[in-house]
Amino acid sequence: MTKRILVVEDNDLNRKLFCDVLQASGFSVEPVADGKLAIEAARAFYPNLVVMDIQLQDVSGLDLIAMLKCDNDLAKVPVLAVTAYAGKGDEERIRESGAEGYLSKPVSIGPFMAAVRGLMDSDQQQLSA
């Protein structure tokens, strides 16, 4: 069964890059440009992983992660936070919001795919536990 990844990213180039790389790796991908639609899209698509930009135009990625983690149906879906903010304490704050993974932009393909696969593997272990 094909793994599903929801990509929440308001930058067109970043969203296209993430989606293209993930699709080329065999994942089914649902892109979301508007953060306000992310939760609704997650409920409809029911992803195995969410790639979440933290600095979205209309809503905070941190708030969206918290909303996902409070949703009974989506709480166990791992989140890979991707952000241009890589200041001191940011990773800790992002992980405290509920993100299982963290990458700072600009993102290289190798570390991005390693993070995706790592979270997918941990997702499988949680489901079988």
Q: What range does the domain containing 32 cover?
A: 4-128
Q: What tens digit of pLDDT does each residue of 27-66 get?
A: 999 999 999 999 999 999 999 999 999 999 989 999 999 9
Smallest CA-to-CA distance from 119 within 64, 71, 82, 70 is with 82
pLDDT at 128: 41
| pLDDT greater than 80 at residue 114 | yes
Q: At what angle do helices 38-45 and 61-70 cross, to 10 degrees?
A: 40
What is the predicted pLDDT for the residue at 87?
76
* Count of domains forming the chain: 1
Residues 73-96 have a mean pLDDT of 90
Task: Give the predicted TM-score (pTM) of the model.
Answer: 0.92
CATH code at position 112 = 3.40.50.2300
Q: What are phi and psi of 127, to 5 degrees?
A: -70, -30
